[in-house]
Amino acid sequence: MNTQVRHQTIDEIQFDFGQRIRKLRLSKNLDQQTIALQAGISVGAIKNLESGAGATIKTLIAVLRVLGHIDGLLAIAPMPTLDPLTITRTANARERASRKA
């Protein structure tokens, strides 16, 4: 993780992320109204996202889909792959933590 990001507040990270979304939108020469229309959300939701004022995950997903960058969001939490050797080693894997005395 970038040390600069690590030391930013959540509000600062949210603002920076909003600015990145804005730059991405502008690089595709799209206005907020067009994005909102294509994403099925309000212009206010776009403004909130881009200004760092807060947005829902639904808004973020809708905007990234319209901008063609949904794969970047999905890369945050990739689906784990199954390793056949790991499966055999953990066939009797614990499903619960033990009780504390």
Q: Contact at 8 Å (CB) between 72 and 60? A: no
pTM (predicted TM-score): 0.71
| Residue 98 within a domain | no
So what's the pLDDT on residue 93? 60
| Residue 83 within a domain | no
Q: Contact at 8 Å (CB) between 55 and 22? A: no
Domain extent, residue 10, equals 3-74
- Relative orientation angle of helices 57-67 and 32-39, to the nearest 10 degrees: 110
| CATH number, domain containing residue 16 | 1.10.260.40
At 48-62, the pLDDT tens digits run 999 999 999 999 999
| Residue 15 within a domain | yes
Backbone angles phi, psi at 45, to 5 degrees: -65, -40
Alpha carbon distance, N-terminus to C-terminus of the chain: 38
Distance CA 49, CA 62 (A): 11
Q: Contact at 8 Å (CB) between 69 and 79? A: no
Q: Could you tell me the sign of the dihedral formed by the alpha carbons of 78, 83, 86, 88, in that order? A: positive
pLDDT averaged per 10 residues in sequence order, the chain, 101 residues: 76 95 97 98 97 94 95 80 65 68 62
| Residue 61 within a domain | yes
**Number of domains the chain contains:** 1
Distance CA 101, CA 10 (A): 38
